[in-house]
Structure 1
Amino acid sequence: MEIRVFEINDNIKEETLEKLDKDNIKKIFDKIFQSKNMEHLKISCYANDDSIIREYNTNRETFKLKLLAEKLQAAENKKDGTRNKQITEGYLFVKHEKHRLFLLKLENIEVVDKEKNYEMRNSFSIEADYYKGCIFKNNIKDITIIDKNKSIAKYWREDFLSLSLNRDEYTNSTELIELLSGDDLFSNDIKQQSNFNDIKNRTENFIFENDTFDKTNLGNLLRTKKLITQTDLKDIYSEKSKVLDTEFTLSKKAVKEKYKKTIRISEDTKICTDNYAKLFRRQGIKYEDGNIILPVDDELISELPKELTNND
């Protein structure tokens, strides 16, 4: 096993590591990449012809791991070669094993104590700290990338690793929601309509209320509701939407990840919902006189703590 660490900003600096450094860094990899960690996006990809993962796979014995740092630095730069200030600087951690390669970018190095051999501080948390990762297990057609943000960063998947998505219901659903939220699902003509927000809301309801997504069915619904008049799919949907399959099963996991929300109401109390947009839209939550009011579905009243339902 080989472990390397590179600090990447305007320059690349490789850290000198002792045995204890590597032991502690291995613990960081184990914590973040553990299979039960559900606190990040995890997407399956395949390597494009120009992917650095493909290059690594072809020349494992002679491949220079520093090339990964150089490739990442280039991906974080603008076209003129200067650093893109919108991309957070960080450290690239590389763990190379006989049949596996793990890459991890930590965007908040303060959660690791470099003075104590890269020991994780108490503040280290897979729930809060931003990171990006890649897992290659000897199959260039099935490479896993992860991102603690709500979507996979373009510079990480495309510019650095040159990976394409393996299309499945989760990938389709995730991209559908991202296209919708970014106003990239529909054509320019539809986006310019005065009722565009109504179209977006109706589309979200379609996602929440159906098990499958079908471009034709959504178009028919929008016309039935008199929100659009266009009949041809190319006049309804954007060029960017062509990445989606015309029809696919909607992933409940993807919907939950994109619409879940946590509302903190005190230091020790928070309200969590798997679909805040749906909850808010059906007036299932409101703020009134310093209180958050939530109605309880009839079939769940019996599951409430007894002290809440005691009339005395």
Structure 2
Amino acid sequence: MADNNDLQQEAAFPQRDLQLHSIGSYTLDLDANKHTSLEATDNEADYMNFIHGIVHEISTQGGRQFICNSMHTEVINIVSQIVNNDIDFSEVEAIADRLLRIEVEAQEKISRLGKQLHEGLLIISHITDRNVEKIIICKAETLSYIERTTFTQQDGFPLKKKIFKSVQITFDNDKNIEEIYVNDINESISKYWWDTFLELAKKYEDEENTKKAFSIIESKILNIIRKESNTDFWNLRNTTIHYFRSNEEFEIQDYIEKCLDGYVPEKEDLDIEKFALKARELPTKFVFDPQFSLVKKAITAKIKKTISLHESIDLVLKGEVNPGTIESARNGRQEKGIFIKTSTGFDEFGG
């Protein structure tokens, strides 16, 4: 365990005022049902940079917001006492004990399904980030590899870090818990992590998140696009409705990649990248979670039924259309049109 009171990591984090006060790290061995504390000194630069990089990455993220069920639950009680200087930081070892016990139980349950938990490295840190005091708890990746000179198996930490699960707990000036953000590399946040281990409750329910996320995307992204291009508005609105109704989980970056990043606008100078960047800021600016389970019944928006193509031709949509079924196109004379994937229609028009 490294104790780095008031240690300024200016070289590692030049763009932020980030102080790392104390860091504890533990390997969890589920098979042996034991954890091992990793001791490191400041001169072990590569290892410390690995740890500090993870702490920095999590402290710059948001996440799904949770609230405490009680101030007397084990993890919440320990971190609160640490921030209030009521106990020594070494007491975080009880958090490692708790997670090991819970993960052993969780592994026994999922092993019947042929699944396995990532064991990884547990990191617990006490930091001050731009005058905000925080406790960060996370599981990061460890690797087993064959050393190329001795050809023996070794364990180590990857330079390109993978963070499996994390919780970021922020405190106000009176050292009371202010906000709690939880992240998970999986599509949905594992219940054993936020419920059994951390004993938290969701701040916003999934249905509330679903309604708000769609409403904000529509008003702050799609309706702005409508002012520039009505055709692109309808294309992206229909794609957005399809995303909300066809996926089990919402994640803001996944939405951007599937609905905005690959979209080729009808209006040639429509800056889709600008709207993608704006979409990334929506959860923070308008207070909804960037990751949650979608409640499909909460989306009552209708896909546009009839689109006028010509004074004598209308395109009638009877329901949701999968992306790629209808696409804009230009022929060899650079005349604009649409392409509809259909074998029936192809035969009807003499194909």
TM norm structure 1: 0.50
- Whether 2:69 is the aligned partner of 1:48: answer yes
Q: CA deviation at 1:96?
A: 1.6
Kept in 1: contact 2:166–2:183 (CA 8 A): yes
- Alignment of structure 1 residues 148-227 onto 2, 5 Å: 148-167=185-204, 172-173=209-210, 208=241
Q: 1:17 to 1:309 in 2, by over 3 A?
A: farther
Deviations 1:191-211 (A, max 9, x none): xxxxxxxxxxxxxx9x928x9
User: Percent of counterpart pairs with the same letter?
Assistant: 16
Residue number among 115, 119, 143 corresponding to 1:89 in the alignment: 119
Instruction: From the superposition, tell whether residues 95 and 119 of structure 1 become closer, same or farther in structure 2 (CA, over 3 Å).
Output: same
- Residues 134 and 145, structure 1, Cα contact 8 Å, conserved in 2: yes
Once the two structures are superposed, residues 106-147 of structure 1 have per-residue CA deviations (whole angstroms, 9 ceiling, x without a partner) of: 1x31399xxxxx7752xx16xxx4511111112435211111
- Counterparts of 1:14-163 in structure 2, within 5 Å, are 14-19=37-42, 20=45, 21-35=47-61, 42-49=63-70, 50-60=72-82, 61=85, 62=87, 64-78=91-105, 85=111, 86-97=116-127, 99-106=133-140, 108-110=141-143, 120-121=158-159, 124=160, 129-138=162-171, 139-140=176-177, 142-163=179-200
Q: Which has the higher strand share?
A: 2
Change (3 A) 1:258 1:59: same
Matched AA of 2:118: T
1:189 maps to what in 2?
A: none
Shift of 1:13: 0.9
Q: Which has the larger radius of gyration?
A: 2
Q: Which moved more, 1:82-91 or 1:154-163?
A: 82-91
Q: Say how many residue pairs are matched.
A: 203
Please, which runs of 5 or more residues in structure 2 have no aligned partner?
1-20, 146-155, 215-237, 265-275, 277-295, 297-302, 304-318, 337-351
Structure with the bigger RCO (C-alpha within 8 Å, sep 6+) is 1
1:171 to 1:13, Cα distance in 2 relative to 1, 3 A: farther
TM-score by length of 2: 0.45
How big is each residue's C-alpha offset from its partner over 1:208-229, in whole Å with a ceiling of 9 and x where there is no partner? 28x9x9xxxxxxxxxxxxxxxx
Say if 1:254 and 1:309 are closer, same or farther in 2 by CA, change over 3 A: farther
1:308, 1:74 → 2: CA distance?
69
Residues 78, 84 of structure 1: 8 Å contact kept: no
Structure 2 vs 1, CA of residues 96 and 256 (structure 1 numbering), >3 Å: closer, same or farther?
closer
| Alignment RMSD (CA, Å) | 4.8
CA distance in 2, matches of 1:261, 1:111: 32
Deviation at 1:151? 1.0
